[in-house]
Structure 1
Amino acid sequence: MKITCRCGAVIPDNTDYLPWKADVIPSQDLSDFFDAEDRVDGLVDNSTTAYQCESCGRLYLEDQSRRTMHCFVPEDADTPYDVLRSVHGEAWRGLVHGIWRQDGGYLSWSAGVESSFEEYTSWEALHRAYDDVFARLRQRDLVRNALLRRDGEDVHTWPAITR
């Protein structure tokens, strides 16, 4: 999904852990969220999604129906355009995921204050890009988990999955 901001910038929502996206849980629903046995279902049941345009700082919030976005404009020019980012900022440990299927694949990663989503038409190019991004982010201790999958088979996982 892509949201076109009123300033003309595009706010993509094409992967998880985006620094301009947040799940917002109303204070009145926090107890329900923490009491939920399945935190994922609790998050879906008790949250709406918020996005921030990195170009102009506008906030977009879903309403409870999850069908309508409401836009909020910063009051002054000094408003930071990163209010939805992790409190860990540049030290946030994220993910690197490369997925290949018969007809193509993608590399998605988000760590620190960087993120990217790239499509590939060659397995070799995807594999090389995954290795490069993983090594660069791992060296900076910015990887929480990583996965490279080809046609449903895990080629690389980090941390290693032991069975």
Structure 2
Amino acid sequence: MKIRCDCGGIIVDQTDYLPYKGHLISDQDWFDFLDAIDRAIEKSGPADKDKERAAMSIRRMAAHLTKLIYQCTCCGRLYVSNEEENLETFVKPEPFEGKSILASSLGGNWKRPLIGDWDDSRKGSIKGYLWCMDLKEGEGSFDSWGNLEETYYDTLLDLKEKNNSCGEAKVSL
């Protein structure tokens, strides 16, 4: 999905782990959701199938109770889905400072995914792709397995080092 912001910017929702996308849950639904999680943990059966069924019911409930929210990375405008599957727009009165309010509360300590893909049967010279939020555009396409593998492990080590140097994330209220 692509949303054209009133400022002219484009909000793209075509993958997971987006720092400008969130899931909004009403306070009226929040405690019902927490209670459902408690029930799933306490009352799911001992079999793996029971646990999977309980986990999937929580996922379905989360999808049902949440509204999608997007923030334009150009102007900071918020777009929130409503019951009619339209988007409500909210504008910040002060100038936008470029900080996403929807990014992980862990900030730089968020453990981002690193995904590699290689397929010898692809047409053309590009046979592999590497995706990670820390890679710059153009750094994720590979014509050599060795280059993809090397970049994958270098990026993985950089991410591990970064995470270890940050310590544990602490939340204070």
Decide: shared fold, TM above 0.5.
yes
Give the secondary structure class of the aligned counterpart of 1:140.
helix
Which of these residues, 155, 168, 173, is aligned with residue 133 of structure 1? Answer: 155
* Greater share of strand: 1
In structure 2, the CA distance between the partners of 1:40 and 1:116, relative to structure 1 (3 Å rule), is: farther
Give the secondary structure class of the aligned counterpart of 1:94.
coil
Q: Which residue is equivalent to 1:40? A: 59
Corresponding position: 1:98 with 2:116: yes
Q: Distance in 2 between matches of 1:19 and 1:71?
A: 18
In structure 2, the CA distance between the partners of 1:4 and 1:29, relative to structure 1 (3 Å rule), is: same
Q: How far apart are residue 87 of structure 1 and its match?
A: 1.7
Which of these residues, 85, 109, 113, is aligned with residue 132 of structure 2? Answer: 109
Q: Which residue is equivalent to 1:23? A: 23
* Greater share of helix: 2
In structure 2, the CA distance between the partners of 1:57 and 1:131, relative to structure 1 (3 Å rule), is: same
Q: Which aligned segments of 4 or more residues in structure 1 are displaced greater than 6 angstroms?
A: 115-119
Tell me the TM-score normalized by structure 1.
0.68
Q: Which residue is equivalent to 1:64? A: 83
Letter aligned with residue 2 of structure 2: K
Q: Which residue is equivalent to 1:52? A: 71
Q: Which runs of 5+ in 2 are unaligned?
A: 38-53, 165-173
- The structure having more radius of gyration, on CA atoms, is 2
Q: Distance in 2 between matches of 1:91 and 1:80?
A: 19
Q: Distance in 1 between matches of 2:18 and 2:63?
A: 17
Q: Which residue is equivalent to 2:47? A: none
Letter aligned with residue 75 of structure 1: P
